[in-house]
Amino acid sequence: MTGLELSDVSYSYAATGRKALDGVRFSVEPGRFCALLGPNGAGKSTLYALLTRLIVAPQGRISVAGYDLARAPRAALARIGVVFQQPTLDLDMTVRRNMSYFAGLHGLSGRDAAVAIDAALDRLAMLERAGEKVRALNGGHRRRMEIARALIHKPEVLLLDEPTVGLDAAARRAITAHVHELAETGPAVLWATHLVDEIGPQDRVVVLHRGKVLVEGGAAEIASGSTLSDRFIEMTGAHEEVPA
Amino acid sequence: MKAWMTALWAIVLREALRFASQRGRFLAALVRPLVWLVVFAAGFRAALGLSIIPPYQTYITYEVYIVPGLCGMIQLFNGMQSSLSLVYDQEMGSMRLLLTSPFPRWWLLFSKLLAGVAVSILQVAVFLAIAAALGIELPLLGYFAVLPALIVTGLMLGALGLLISSTIRQLENFAGVMNFVIFPMFFLSSALYPLWKMQESSALLRDICAVNPFTHAVELIRFALYGQMNWMALLWVVVAFAVCMLGALWGYDPERTMMRRKAR
């Protein structure tokens, strides 16, 4: 299987010695939407920092599209598209300039880059805003732009770390639907969230709590007669935040 | 190789566009050395007599003496400004985007460095043009010969900024850089007074100035502006660049990062 595979990934903070991740093991197949569901402080952002090699895992193995992130980091990173929880945009540059910068960071230039940028913006219905400055966009459009940017180099694995934080209900629903559609076109999608209503019954779910995977499986299967929300609270003791 | 150059160009272009959009930064970068040149030098020219020292062939005015030091000052401030912008990028998340590029981290950081050097050379060029308009003219050859010197000194001062940015986590801590890096480096150098003048007041201060890499950056620029090469200064600057760059790469190493930082 390609897509994303993690086995026995652990990580501790040197300063406190606290174990942020403990033997995390799961996989996401190509074409699947997998929700990494966990309350605040579960270790989701630390896991994303490891998956994008901002920090290195001392233990365990991470494989991206068949490439070991530790042994072949360049090949693995070239196949990852990422949307961080915190926006990473140049507000005073246009949408297209932001996209071109990112294309350049992946070695794409000229006509190849222009075609890839147009296709990615079109996919997220953002093409008509290509000439606008990012500062002029609302939160939902900025997020869509960031997702489009993550698709420029046609990644095989798409990582999104709580991408709907700070968005209103309509924008949240639209972006969640967009990414579900994207997953059907090929990439393995890992979507970190603590909001159960962003997960569909067909989605795969990994519940992360205090750095450990509590359960992994289909959303409907995990809910098993109850609701996913109730099961989540039952497993983690967390009370889901009321969506904005 | 084309892809590597594409990444470099993307990073340089982003920095150039950001700089172009920050008119205040450009103005401040020019006003600072011009105030020194026009106001400070005017007051000091009578107080500070200068003897004939290499590379000068004759007596020179104080304004002429401090031009290379002010070129260095522009690059020093620019290096720190780039460092500030890196800390800002870390806080705003843009650094994450850069570091998740598939190119090696050293290449990404070196590209950032080159972008800062390009911006600093643009500032020095405008400064030298204004200085010439004010009557401080240099040999024509010097305007061309100084370019490679500015690239080397810019790389060294930029690498220092990069090293500092790898140790600073918050913008608020940046004020300390002004007090503990920029001011000592600038004042304990040959930018404002020749080392033999410093020797007259304190041998210890003179020795400190002599080992300050910024002194050698200024001397490299000074000699280049007169079409001459100061090999010793070049050696100092290259060694200082290598040390700072290796330190910065160590500071940004993801395996070391793991030991120190909490993932945000």
pLDDT digits (tens, 9 = 90+) for A162-194: 988 878 888 888 889 989 998 988 899 999 998
Chain A residue with the nearest C-alpha to that of B104: A74
Cβ A100 vs Cβ B6: under 8 Å: no
Chain B residue with the nearest C-alpha to that of A16: B262
Cα distances from B157 to residues B164, B174, B194, B207, B241, in angstroms, run 11, 16, 21, 21, 7
Measure in Å the smallest separation between the Cα of B85 and chain A Cα atoms.
12
Angle at B126 between CA B124 and CA B128, to 5 degrees: 65
Cα distances from A112 to residues A74, A95, A109, A126, B117, in angstroms, run 20, 17, 6, 19, 29
Q: Tell me whether strands A188-193 and A33-37 are parallel, antiparallel or unpaired.
A: parallel
Angle at B111 between CA B105 and CA B112, to 5 degrees: 90
Cα distances from B130 to residues B29, B36, B110, B213, in angstroms, run 13, 13, 30, 27
Give residue B261's pLDDT.
46
On whether the pTM is more than 0.80, the answer is yes
The percentage of residues in chain B with a pLDDT greater than 70, rounded to a whole number, is: 89
Count CB pairs under 8 A between chains A and B.
105
Give residue B20's pLDDT.
81
Indicate yes or no: CB of A105 within 8 angstroms of CB of B9.
Answer: no
Indicate yes or no: CB of B263 within 8 angstroms of CB of A107.
Answer: no
- pLDDT band at residue A239 using 50, 70 and 90 as cut-offs: low
**How does pLDDT run across A101-157, given as a tens digit for each residue?**
999 999 999 999 999 999 999 988 899 999 999 999 998 899 999 999 999 999 999
Give residue B182's pLDDT.
84
* pLDDT of B239 over the 80 cut: yes
- pLDDT band at residue B46 using 50, 70 and 90 as cut-offs: low
Give residue B42's pLDDT.
76
Nearest Cα neighbor of A97 from A142, A140, A130 is: A130
Give residue B174's pLDDT.
67
Q: Tell me whether strands A212-218 and A33-37 are parallel, antiparallel or unpaired.
A: unpaired
Cβ A39 vs Cβ A238: under 8 Å: yes
Give residue B260's pLDDT.
46
* Separation of alpha carbons A99 and A120, rounded Å: 9
Provide the mean pLDDT of chain B: 85
Measure in Å the smallest separation between the Cα of B110 and chain A Cα atoms.
13
Give residue A242's pLDDT.
43
Q: Is B115 on the interface with A (CB under 8 A)?
A: no
* pLDDT of B153 over the 80 cut: yes
Give residue B264's pLDDT.
41
* pLDDT of A212 over the 50 cut: yes
Cβ A78 vs Cβ B100: under 8 Å: no
Q: Which of B100, B108, B110, B112 to mutate to test the interface with A (most CBs of A within 10 A)?
A: B100
**How does pLDDT run across A45-56, given as a tens digit for each residue?**
899 999 999 888
Q: Which residue has the higher pLDDT, B2 or B214?
A: B214
Give residue A90's pLDDT.
87
Q: Which residue has the tokens 């967009």?
A: A178
CB neighbours of B153 closer than 8 A, spacing ≥ 6?
B72, B75, B217, B220, B221, B237
- pLDDT band at residue B258 using 50, 70 and 90 as cut-offs: very low
Q: Is B7 on the interface with A (CB under 8 A)?
A: yes
Contacts of A89 in chain B (CB under 8 A): 94
